Structure 1
Amino acid sequence: MTEILQTPKLVVVFGGSGFVGRHVVRALARRGYRIRVPCRRPDLAGHLQPLGNVGQIQPVQANVRARWSVDRAVQGADHVVNLVGILHESGRQRFGAVHEFGARAIAEAARSVGAGMTHVSALGADPRSASAYARSKALGEKAVLETIADAVIHRPSINFGPEDEFFNRFASMARLSPVLPLIGGGHTRFQPVYVDDVAEAVARAVDGEVEGGRIYELGGPQVLTFKQCMQELLAVIDRKRVLMPVPWWLAGIQASILGMLPNPLLTSDQLEQLRVHNQVSEKAIGEGRTLAGLGIQPQALGTMLPTYLWRFRPFGQFQRKPAA
């Protein structure tokens, strides 16, 4: 009797060429899915090809601000993942256009082909926030759930991993500067989550193992202040630096100036985000809407940072030899 081979399901991953995206694509590729990655510059997405088998991963051109390209990108999809996000506004890339309009466009396109959807937002998304970023993230979640009621929403805290723009940036700064700034005194609390844990949560949603119509808050096993994050960082890269508190008013002046740069270190909107603690809520913990609730054991910061920040040490991967 002839065996009929079933074609693997097609997952469309918007934003799959970015930091979180490449880890999500790898997690899905390991499960055997066919993966289509819509992005503005598919010619710059060649780094995704080695993550799967030949022909398994296909970058295509699309822009969430152009609805027709979104509709084209989801044709034939079984599931759609939205990872698209920006940290600061630039040119036509505005928070509303990307986080709200783009999320609604992707959700409507997914609904039109009968595909399920997983949307990755951000911990701290709040329609009443003083931060335009946080407000737009909340409006994007609302747009997705209004369109696909059983969509899965993931809200990760600060993602850390080999290509992150948080620990890598401060580690790079520590190589040259004798001082690291502590915005607002460094008291803001974070719950850094390893990027592979977020990718696993997304992959399980694609597998159908995550209950839809709910918002999941993804954080690591530790809640640390900004100051403690910097102390952990310095311990890993084996450097001693002065941690200098920067009052909010002074940080505001710096942000207004730095925000004018093409790739700003700090913007006024990011400063507003830093005023609010970024950690998983007690309600989410009680209702099992966390990594633990999804059956995922989160990786600790101290375990994973040394695996990629070693290059910022004075002696690289070699340990400093003790004095004789």
Structure 2
Amino acid sequence: MKIFLTGGTGFVGTEILKYALSKDYEVTLLVRNPDKVKVKNDRIDIVVGDVLKPKTYLDKLNNVDCVVHLVGIIREIPKEGVTFQRYHFEATKMIVDAAKEGDVKRFIHMSANGARSEAITDYHKTKYLAEEYVRNSGLTYTIFKPSVIYGPGDSFINMLNDFLKKTPVFSYFGDGSYSMQPVYVADVAKIFVDAIENSDTFNKTFTVCGPEVLSYKELLRLICEVTNRKRLFIPVPEFIISFMITLFGKFQWFPLTRDQFEMLREGNTCENMEIYKLLQFEPKNIKDTLKKYLK
């Protein structure tokens, strides 16, 4: 089995790459910077290119069995051309069209839980546009929509943990009741790779969540529990956070954008766990997993 992987140097992509290699798959890895490849293996063919420039990788799609497309961004940098429209929709359109030209039959796509046509945020709207393009492509697709993905090196739980290390008092947004269902990165990798040859996943869309629903405040308390810290939590009204985002949200140093805040407020949970039944495995428990690496 030969797969073509985009976004393979990122947090999730690196885990998918490792798991694909463990199943003896051959991987063509599209990267802009080869120095960011964290895995070394003779079955990796590194292609230096850009998903937005199909000419840099089109010839590498010949004789590929499946494209696994992970490219996405969490915040925009408009001055650098880094926008949701470009990296969610346009990049997906280009790799889908290139896959069809290269006669690739199978396409695995990473979207996001909450992506829908009537979404509040541009992040979710553009993710949905990409989903629709994949669904209407004629390729044998599978679309996965993960909730918050956590694990060593993630940009959310580790960020919260770093903040909690530095202060005995921590503020949370509103009443802290925003719900989420974090899923472990190794489980996500297994899902993406095991679905490639599983016909029960063909031409379907799945949400991907972990087994526990936590509020934002409960997650903060869990982090403190597994790291043996005691912290005082103080609520900050939403209007103050909203005002600060208005002032500073466009700056890279500020940890929260308007889209991220709105997505946190609307929650991030799954209605069903069908994918685990199809692939016949149990997702990892977040508390047990955090204990293994969070310090």
- The alignment's TM-score, normalised by the length of structure 1, stands at 0.86
Where does residue 307 of structure 1 map in the other structure?
292
Check the 8 A contact 1:204/1:210 in 2, yes or no: no
Where does residue 29 of structure 2 map in the other structure?
37
Q: In 2, Cα distance between the equivalents of 1:71 and 1:228?
A: 46
Q: In 2, Cα distance between the equivalents of 1:242 and 1:174?
A: 10
Cα distance change of structure 1 residues 197 and 254 upon mapping to structure 2, 3 Å threshold:
same
Q: Deviations over 1:204-238 (max 9, x none)?
A: 12233542111111111101111111110011111
1:178 maps to 2:168: yes
1:17 maps to 2:9: yes
Letter in 2 for 1:75: N
Q: In 2, Cα distance between the equivalents of 1:31 and 1:114?
A: 24
1:82 maps to 2:69: yes
Q: In 2, Cα distance between the equivalents of 1:123 and 1:134?
A: 8
Letter in 1 for 2:22: R
Q: In 1, Cα distance between the equivalents of 2:265 and 2:125?
A: 15
Asked which structure has the greater CA Rg, the reply is 1
Q: Say which of 223, 247, 255 aligns to 1:257.
A: 247
Where does residue 66 of structure 1 map in the other structure?
53
Q: Which consecutive residues of structure 1, in runs of 5 or more, have no partner in the other structure?
A: 1-8, 311-324
Q: In 2, Cα distance between the equivalents of 1:263 and 1:22?
A: 25
Where does residue 202 of structure 1 map in the other structure?
192
Cα shift at 1:70: 4.4
Q: In 2, Cα distance between the equivalents of 1:292 and 1:227?
A: 30
Q: Secondary structure at the match of 2:210?
A: coil
Q: Say which of 129, 135, 157 aligns to 2:147.
A: 157
Check the 8 A contact 2:58/2:102 in 1, yes or no: no
Letter in 1 for 2:29: V
Q: Deviations over 1:245-291 (max 9, x none)?
A: 2222111122233423225410111111112121112xx45xx3x32
1:217 maps to 2:207: yes
1:298 maps to 2:274: no
Q: Secondary structure at the match of 2:269?
A: coil
Q: Deviations over 1:111-135 (max 9, x none)?
A: 2222211001111111211111011
Q: In 1, Cα distance between the equivalents of 2:268 and 2:54?
A: 32
Cα distance change of structure 1 residues 158 and 82 upon mapping to structure 2, 3 Å threshold:
same
Cα distance change of structure 1 residues 70 and 129 upon mapping to structure 2, 3 Å threshold:
farther
Cα shift at 1:93: 1.3
Where does residue 233 of structure 1 map in the other structure?
223
Cα shift at 1:58: 2.5
Where does residue 111 of structure 2 map in the other structure?
121
Letter in 2 for 1:77: V
CA RMSD of aligned residues (A): 1.6
Cα distance change of structure 1 residues 59 and 184 upon mapping to structure 2, 3 Å threshold:
farther
- The alignment's TM-score, normalised by the length of structure 2, stands at 0.94
Q: Deviations over 1:286-308 (max 9, x none)?
A: xx3x3234322100100110111
Check the 8 A contact 2:62/2:103 in 1, yes or no: no
Where does residue 235 of structure 2 map in the other structure?
245
Q: Secondary structure at the match of 2:201?
A: coil
TM superposition outliers: structure 1 runs of 4+ over 4 Å: none
Where does residue 96 of structure 1 map in the other structure?
85
Q: Secondary structure at the match of 1:180?
A: strand
Cα shift at 1:75: 3.3
Q: In 2, Cα distance between the equivalents of 1:23 and 1:292?
A: 22
Check the 8 A contact 2:33/2:48 in 1, yes or no: yes
